[in-house]
Copies of this chain bind each other. A is one copy, B any other.
Amino acid sequence: MTDSLRVAALEVDIHLGDVDGNLARIRAAIERGAAAGARLIVLPELATSGYVFRDVAEATDASLTRDDPRLDALRETLPGGAVAVFGYLERGADGLYNSAIVLGRDGELGHYRKSHLWDRESEIFQLGDAAGAVVDTPVGRVGVAICYDNEFPEVPRGLALAGADVLALPVNWPFVPHPEGERAPETIMAMGSARASRLPTVIADRIGAGAGAERGVEWTGGTAVIDGDGWVAAEPLDGMAVAELEIQPGDKRLNDRNDLFGDRRTALYRPH
């Protein structure tokens, strides 16, 4: 059975440390995605806080606890049956986490703490204890991973095998030089991992270069919707990428003889 799922990935103009301002901008972005008819709305990593903190103390000032009523209040912006996924800077009992929340009209549906930390993140954040999450939602089983997580093939593969129908991927991709005419390397990896598991992937990234950079870090601007065949189905128009995805829960058939998961030779694979 093929379902159709309208999704939106939105850039958000995030200001470092301005939590209430960012929450207002997140609210506006969710409203915009909902108005476009999207039932799955994805926003960037650390959308409440920004990214380039000097140290734990400064990051702590921009953190929120998971039960902060300001996070919960964002559900008011969601139509019934719609789901939003966004990153936030979580203040946990034992330290800070780079986390994502999966929000429905009636409250939190799922939660994930990033488990592969990039560069200076390891000076700020604790490591999460799961390699992504699969969350049951009104729009299906939504996989969640954050940024660098997805560069480990084990993560999108594991989420697809665990039954994710679609992957929500909040990111902050710092710009890295790449050959002219090529897509950003993280995009190519996401196209490959999407196709490898027929796992549509909804990516929301930062934007900004030059004066728009955050303490000198420029962003790739990789917001995109990638379909289950690995193709870029939508890129941002005025900050929002919207696409209608075909979702085939659990169906990985490629032709009469091949099934992407059935063809796996699990007994032959090297243990992780």
Spell out A's residues near B (CB within 8 Å): 115-120, 122, 127, 129-131, 148, 151-155, 157-158, 161-162, 178-179, 182, 185, 188-193, 195-197, 229-232, 255, 257-258, 263-266, 268-272
**Copies in the assembly, this chain:** 2
Main secondary structure of the interface of A (DSSP, over half): loop
Residue from A118, A257, A268 with most neighbouring chain B CB atoms (10 Å)? A268
Q: How far is the CA of A117 from the CA of B266 in the complex (A)?
A: 14
A196 is contacted by which of B117, B152, B161 (Cβ under 8 Å)?
A: B152
Q: Which of B118, B130, B158, B230 contacts A189 (CB 8 A)?
A: B230
Docked pose: A178 CA to B122 CA in angstroms:
40
The residues of B that contact A118 with a CB separation of less than 8 Å are 258
By the criterion CB–CB under 8 Å, are B196 and A189 in contact? yes
Known contacts A120-B257, A189-B230, A257-B122, A115 near B161 by CB under 8 Å: no
Q: Which residue of B is nearest A178, CB measured?
A: B231
A35 vs chain B, min Cβ distance (A): 28
Complex CA gap A153/B263 in Å reads 12
- A257 adjacent to B119 (CB under 8 Å): yes
Chain B min CB distance to A189 (Å): 4
Chain B residues whose C-beta falls within 8 Å of the C-beta of A197 in the assembled complex = 153
Give A179 to B235 CA distance when docked, in angstroms.
Answer: 14
With beta carbons under 8 angstroms apart, the residue of B119, B148, B192, B255 that contacts A192 is: B192
Task: List residues of chain B with CB within 8 A of the CB of A152.
Answer: 196, 263-265
Question: What residues on B are CB-neighbors of A157 within 8 Å?
Answer: 153-154, 270
